[in-house]
Amino acid sequence: MSTRKKLGIDFGNIDSINTREDRIQYINFKLASLGLPIYRSNDTNNATNTYFIDLFEDIIKDYKEKTRMVDVNEVGIHRRINQFFSTFFYESPTPLKGVEDSLTLDHYGLAREMSLPPDGNTFTNAYISSYRIKQGVLHNPRNDRRTTEGSFHIVEGGLAIPYDKKAVPKEAFVKLYQSAINPPEELKVLPFTVNQAQPAKTFVSLMIKPIVSPKVPGVLDEKTMEVLFVAPGSLVSNLDFIESVFGNMGDPSFHSNDSGLDVDNWSGHTGYILLAPHLTTMKKVDLGLPHYNDATERQRRDGMCYQDENECYNEGNAFKLTCRDKSGVAVTLIADNYFGYSKKEIKTQISFAANLFGNVEEEHAGGTIAYPQKNLGVHYNAVEDNRLSSYSFDEVIEHYGGMMYLQEDHYGIDKRNKQIIYLPENVKIDLYKTEIKWLYNETIRTLKLMPNYFYVLPNGERIHMEKHPEAPIWKLIGTEAEGTFCHKPCTVSGGGKSEISKSISNSIIYGTYYVNDLAKDLDNVEAILNYDYRRRWKDYPDRTRPSRVILSIDRTLGSVIKLLTPSTAYTDEFNAYIEAIPNHVKALVFMVKRFYRQSWGSDWRKHFSVDLINGKPGNELKFDNRKIRPSYLRVGFRDEQAWRIFKLRMDFMPSEKIQMEDDITASVMVPHNQLPYINPEYTNGSFKFTTNCEYRFFQRPDDAIHKGYDKQAEKDLSSNNLFATNYQPLTKADVEEIKNDVMGYIAYTDPVKAHIEAFLKSDDAYCVVSSEPRIVNGVPSKNPRYLEHRSDFIDPLKIYLSEVGVHFSR
């Protein structure tokens, strides 16, 4: 199945490839083929009317007849579920079967379209309130959050039941399941047709294939399990959520989608999940549970008995009831439509499959690959970079020449992306001249340095030019080829598994640089620049060779910072000299180095100044009459009014991060001797390989309630194709009020401001804003969430560059 049909997005493109009208017509076609009422537009000019249904009436009849002749229950996943029922409940007088008639979601996007009527912007029942918003959809379940206490129930007769779970008799499960497949009629109403005189009432089903064991190229194939998720029509929003996270694997009745025929990639495990929130009203006595006086000690402890005949099962609270055995099939009833329950049950079934499969593990984990970055200033000389000493462009051409268009001047242009340039090992880069030059065949070759281009060196490291976020200056940024995989396994909820993969750049702010007495401070700077650094080395006290001048083009900013940092390699006298330099003077030295140009010579002081205020020198430092914008790191709040802020070094650059996992991870261990191309620096006896099981991440942006703080969340929540929950559906009047709060409005980042402006000019009835969670019982919800697209879909170029870098480096 194509990525588009499975996920609705593709690498580098998250926009839908079909229109709403296309989806509405297709849904109508599917409804008609099942003999269900369709959506009929009151607008006779609307292409979503019944014209196409009438046109293809004979085809629909033919399809219905052929479907009638095929027993879906004897095909693929349906057959395996029914076989499990007949085996596990062989003593039951009432045979159990999977839901026989359902509307199958055979590709991504249908569930979202079905969750709201085409001629309306809302759908509400006792369990869900859904809204069509400018950015996408907002689904607010009846409960904005749920506890897991007392919610895990397991049927007796299968695998051993942990002591902290509730043991449920088979008879009770049978009756609960029978009620689950016969829900109240209003629960089966499909929101898509809710405004019709005769709405469609049906179950909706989705097949997914989550990963159980990751692929290790040349060693192991990827293994997946199969899961059939079924929900009553009014709760189709849960299937929108599930297919957004895990993908849509098509119609399970097609042989091409039958996991049983996929001998290389099926793990051999099957899941079946049925959503049934109405089960909380079932009475214990009706489920055949014993009276308290006749119950066992465990039944009393687990609440599997009653004293009052009106007692509801699980005291009327939400629960998940699972039936599973060593055959590898797990069936679960979920008595709540809270989205977190649906996702966690998929996670539980992956864990179940992994435990039976062996040598693999499902981990509650977060992780990222972090690639260190350096501020190279305005000059870079590859000849002086020791890390390039054993690499050459000729060797790159020999091994990877096929991936680039080689140029006469001895450099390459990537065939997949012309913004990637491959450079030789002797380049010099001058930012001020926007020039790259190198010697080839005794001739100087030059290339224009361009923004939004990436220049890859033979060792895999890459350089690009980047503009300061809040100042009209540019800098050269170097990114290392080898990253560090930061894997946070088995963490509890709220343990930072999402935060580890977020770039720290979202927490960097920019302020103003102040001095007390500029003339005095510049005198101190000049003394430091002219200091004789030859005799600083403890092991070479009599050195006579001159040290590189601080302002020399041959000394980097990082080298200057290292020079003025105490070290055990320095003499005690020199360390004392360094420590005596005030920090604000050191910072000024670094600033002079950062901005210095060779054309200034020794006349650098005139470029730094302060304004005269009432005839006296001010304190705000300027460079060439332009404000300097130093960087600071925000680390939360001290209280509701004050940030906790720390000053960053002049050359500080946050690592570039590629998010690898967030919550559900499949991992496998592989011996070292089976991995011929592993990084030679790694000497472990075995290695863990992990893969992320999710295509979108269910994020809780706690800090977004503070306007302007969480830049990524504000951008995501202002973008299209959004799935949000537990946010307040805002009307035009609500958003006007937000905009009129000028002091609050200006704190938002630009994406939020642009979103608000666009919404107020649009015909959309509702939107959400990142700082406005849903109001529950008069207070903002503590659990606002949205689905974040994975970074490899948003920015595939970054993934490609990282892969190229690792190949070159090794």
Q: Are the CB atoms for 508 and 633 separated by under 8 Å?
A: yes
Task: Return the CATH number of the domain spanning residue range 72-356.
Answer: 3.40.449.10
Q: Are the CB atoms for 291 and 283 separated by under 8 Å?
A: no
Q: How far is CA 56 from CA 60, 192, 196, 306, in A?
A: 6, 21, 22, 56
What is the reported pLDDT for 51? Answer: 58
Q: Encoding tokens for residue 402?
A: 């096929």
Beta bridge partners of 627: 622
What is the reported pLDDT for 58? Answer: 58
For residue 9, pLDDT over 80 is answered with no
> Which helix or strand (DSSP H or E) is residue 352 part of?
helix 339-357
What is the reported pLDDT for 547? Answer: 87
Beta bridge partners of 447: 436
Q: Please report which confidence band the pLDDT of residue 679 belongs to, taking 50, 70 and 90 as the band edges.
A: confident
Rg of the chain over Cα atoms, rounded to whole angstroms, equals 32
Beta bridge partners of 632: 509, 647
SS3 698: strand
**472-478 long-range Cβ contacts below 8 angstroms, 24+ apart:** 472/626, 474/431, 475/375, 475/376, 475/377, 475/378, 475/431, 476/375, 476/376, 476/377, 476/378, 476/379, 476/380, 476/429, 476/431, 477/373, 477/374, 477/375, 477/376, 477/653, 478/373, 478/374, 478/376, 478/380
Instruction: Express each pLDDT in 376-434 by its tens digit.
Output: 888 899 988 888 989 999 999 999 999 999 999 999 999 999 999 999 999 999 998 99
What is the reported pLDDT for 772? Answer: 96
What is the reported pLDDT for 61? Answer: 63
For residue 47, pLDDT over 80 is answered with no
Spell out a b/e string for 352-388, using b for 16 or more CB atoms within 10 Å of the CB, else e: bbbebbeebbbbbbbbbbbbebbbbbbbbebeebeeb
What is the reported pLDDT for 65? Answer: 56
More reliable by pLDDT, 260 or 47? 260
Residues 205-216: what's their mean pLDDT? 96
Residue 595 is given by DSSP the state: H
Q: Most confidently modeled of 7-21, 153-167, 492-506?
A: 153-167
How far is Cα 792 from Cα 800, in angstroms, rounded to an integer? Answer: 9
Q: Please report which confidence band the pLDDT of residue 467 belongs to, taking 50, 70 and 90 as the band edges.
A: very high
List of residues 6+ apart from 442 with CB closer than 8 A: none
Q: What are phi and psi of 306, to 5 degrees?
A: -135, 155
What is the reported pLDDT for 72? Answer: 64
Among 656, 236, 222, CA closest to 464: 656
Q: Encoding tokens for residue 194?
A: 């809710």
Strand 266-275 versus strand 223-232 pairing type: parallel
For residue 13, pLDDT over 80 is answered with no
Instruction: Express each pLDDT in 250-263 by its tens digit.
Output: 999 888 999 999 99
pTM for the model stands at 0.87
What is the reported pLDDT for 155? Answer: 97
How far is Cα 179 from Cα 282, in angstroms, rounded to an integer? Answer: 9
What is the reported pLDDT for 157? Answer: 93
Instruction: Express each pLDDT in 283-294 by its tens digit.
Output: 999 999 999 999
Residues 335-343: what's their mean pLDDT? 94
How far is Cα 681 from Cα 355, in angstroms, rounded to an integer? Answer: 32
For residue 44, pLDDT over 60 is answered with no
For residue 60, pLDDT over 70 is answered with no
For residue 81, pLDDT over 60 is answered with yes
What is the reported pLDDT for 86? Answer: 94
Least confident of 339-343, 442-446, 625-629, 743-747: 625-629
List of residues 6+ apart from 4 with CB closer than 8 A: 10, 17, 108
Residue 748: exposed, middle, or buried by beta-carbon count in 10 A (0-12, 13-18, 19+)? Answer: buried
- Give me the residue label for tokens 């083929």: 33
Q: Encoding tokens for residue 61?
A: 């009849």
For 778, half-sphere exposure in the C-beta direction (CA atoms, 13 angstrom radius) is 0
For residue 551, pLDDT over 80 is answered with yes
How far is Cα 276 from Cα 282, in angstroms, rounded to an integer? Answer: 11
Q: For the chain, how many residues are written?
A: 810
Residue 322: exposed, middle, or buried by beta-carbon count in 10 A (0-12, 13-18, 19+)? Answer: buried
| Domain limits, the chain | 72-356, 387-462, 518-627, 697-789
List of residues 6+ apart from 486 with CB closer than 8 A: 367, 368, 369, 370, 500, 501
SS3 518: helix
What is the reported pLDDT for 541? Answer: 78
Average pLDDT, the chain: 90
Q: What are the percentages of helix, strand and coil residues in the chain, rounded to 5? A: 35, 25, 40
For residue 639, pLDDT over 70 is answered with no
How far is Cα 113 from Cα 192, in angstroms, rounded to an integer? Answer: 7
For residue 353, pLDDT over 80 is answered with yes
Q: Encoding tokens for residue 33?
A: 């083929």
How far is Cα 536 from Cα 534, in angstroms, rounded to an integer? Answer: 6
What is the reported pLDDT for 545? Answer: 83
What is the reported pLDDT for 71? Answer: 64
